[in-house]
Chain A
Amino acid sequence: MTAAHLNQDAEGSRLGMWLFLFSELMLFGGLFIVYAVYLARYPADFAAAGHELNSWLGATNTVVLLTSSLLAAMAVSAVQMDKRRLAVALISGTLLCAAVFLCIKYVEWGAKFAHGLYPNASELSERPHGQILFFGLYFMITGLHAVHVLAGATLLAISLGLIGRGKITCHRYVFLENSALYWHLVDLIWIFIFPLFYLIV
């Protein structure tokens, strides 16, 4: 069979996924640029507000996401080696990590809401301007990131179903590769969110 007869081109599919991921990088990149400008303008306010975030919960979530990425990458290798049951277990592990991540996020946001820290809250609006901007960016960026976690988990759950139905095999697994790529992007963005919001001094 020559290339012209193939109705699926795995490299082309991955290239398309990467193009989409680049647009995602620009989206988050734009938000990080806003962060950089206001950090330069209000360094003291940003440090004060950053100290109110729980850096241990942030660090835990970093470890959870790094582990989930490892499991997703291993799942692709497992499918390539035709170890389907192992791949299913690894993807399930990734999904479990996603759930843990979102639960911790829920606890964090809940604690902030309980202290009257949410966009447009009266307690927050009495604070210095830089802190209002910090928390605005915090909720915007971590919220958008959490939406991406949900989307990535959905893609991986679909991959799980496709493996079960024999649609993803060691001969054809580009859907899993692309889902894993998306998942790694979620991890990549968190690698920048963690130090910039939780560890800012």
Chain B
Amino acid sequence: MSEQTHAEPITPFRVLVMVWVALLCATALTVWASTVNLGRLNVWLALSIAVLKSSLVLAVFMRLRQESPLFFRMFLVTVATLATFIGLLFFDVPFR
């Protein structure tokens, strides 16, 4: 039976808790940002904070930064595919 122990790094509790605190702060920031009226910018601000939060979750909680580069490249392909769909859609919808 294979053993996983030797190759794989252990994320210390301290790092995980620090990320959790950062995520809570970002959540508070999102809630606060929604009380300020910036018009259309509100959605973009909320999305930017959400992207920051999800990057932390992906990199540390989901350990993407410890995986081989292949995992990250596959993730980029997924994001690029979604972005392509969104891009094409907003090329189409506003001009109907």
- List chain A positions with a Cβ less than 8 A from chain B: 1, 6-11, 14-15, 18-19, 22, 25-26, 29-30, 33, 36-37, 39-41, 43, 55, 59, 62-63, 66-67, 69-70, 72-74, 76-77, 80-81, 170-174, 180-181, 184, 187-188, 191-192, 194-196, 199-201
Query: Complex Cα distance A22/B40, Å?
Result: 29
Q: For residue B1, which residues in chain A have a CB less than 8 angstroms away from its CB?
A: 6-8, 171-172
Tell whether, in the assembled complex, residue A10 and residue B4 are in contact, meaning their CB atoms are under 8 Å apart: yes
User: Among residues 29 to 79 in chain B, which have CB atoms less than 8 Å away from a CB atom of chain A?
Assistant: 30-31, 34, 37, 40, 42-43, 46-47, 49-50, 53-54, 57-58, 60-62, 67-68, 70-71, 74-75, 77-78
Closest to A3 in B: B2
Tell whether, in the assembled complex, residue A201 and residue B42 are in contact, meaning their CB atoms are under 8 Å apart: yes
How many A-B contacts are there with CB distance less than 8 Å? Answer: 136
Q: For residue B81, which residues in chain A have a CB less than 8 angstroms away from its CB?
A: 26
Q: For residue B67, which residues in chain A have a CB less than 8 angstroms away from its CB?
A: 11, 14
Tell whether, in the assembled complex, residue A18 and residue B71 are in contact, meaning their CB atoms are under 8 Å apart: yes
Q: Mark B1-40, 1 if CB is under 8 A from A, else 0.
A: 1111100101111001101100110010011001001001
Chain B residues with a Cβ closer than 8 Å to the other chain, count: 51
At the interface, is chain B mostly helix, strand, loop or mixed? helix
Q: Which residue of the partner chain, among B17, B62, B75, B94, contacts A22 with CB atoms under 8 Å?
A: B75
Q: Which residue of the partner chain, among A8, A25, A30, contacts B2 with CB atoms under 8 Å?
A: A8
Q: Which residue of the partner chain, among B30, B34, B42, B93, contacts A40 with CB atoms under 8 Å?
A: B93
Tell whether, in the assembled complex, residue A191 and residue B82 are in contact, meaning their CB atoms are under 8 Å apart: no
* 19 residue pairs from A and B, CB less than 8 Å apart: A8-B2, A10-B2, A10-B8, A14-B71, A22-B77, A25-B78, A25-B82, A26-B81, A36-B90, A63-B24, A67-B20, A70-B16, A77-B10, A80-B5, A171-B5, A188-B57, A195-B46, A201-B34, A201-B37
Q: Which residue of the partner chain, among B11, B42, B43, B54, contacts A73 with CB atoms under 8 Å?
A: B11
Please list the 3 inter-chain residue pairs (A to B) with the smallest Cβ-Cβ separation, ordered nearest first. Answer: A199-B34, A195-B46, A6-B2
Q: Mark B77-96, 1 if CB is under 8 A from A, else 0.
A: 11001100110011001100
What distance in Å separates the Cβ of B6 from its nearest Cβ neighbour in chain A? Answer: 10
